[in-house]
A = this chain, B = another copy of it.
Amino acid sequence: MINTKLSVAIHILTLIATNPHDPVTSESIAKSVNTNPVVIRRLSGQLKQAGLISSQAGKPGFTLLKAPGQITILTVYQALQTKGDLFLIHPDPNPNCWVGKNIQSVLETTYKRAQDALEQELAQQTLANIIKQLTSH
């Protein structure tokens, strides 16, 4: 299961993108997300490292570094990803068993296809897309 970090990250980027003038601080974002400002700053740190936003200690607010149409949800997803695998495989099946010995590598292939399909779809959707849907609400 994919945790709420992606949702919060998209929430953060949306607020920054739709408020290019007044500074959107971790404090104000936290109020909108309804969480602690540190949670926001931890995520903004990852988004910053991925080159999606910029910020400076002491200076309030964040700046979007790419156009919303250029930021795909896959990019955001990958910015938060530590280990790339969506599916977990049981770690030590019995190597003396015919199935146990080979199941892991077969599952890897199976899972890779599924994950590719997921990521391909996430690559189709952009921040601009999200914002557009939000405005039509």
Contacts and interface: CB of A to CB of B under 8 A. Distances in A.
Given A2-B1, A103-B134, A117-B117, A33 B93 contact: yes
A12 to B, nearest CB: 10
Interface residues of A, number: 56
A91 B11 CA distance: 12
A57 interface: no
A36 interface: no
Contacts of A34: 90, 92-94, 100
B134 A106 contact: yes
Interface of A: 1-4, 6-8, 10-11, 14-15, 18, 31-35, 73, 85-94, 97-103, 105-107, 109-110, 113-118, 120-122, 124-125, 129-130, 133-134, 137
21 contacts: A1-B1, A1-B85, A1-B87, A3-B88, A7-B90, A10-B107, A11-B90, A11-B103, A14-B99, A14-B103, A31-B94, A32-B99, A33-B100, A34-B93, A34-B94, A73-B110, A101-B137, A109-B133, A110-B129, A117-B117, A118-B118
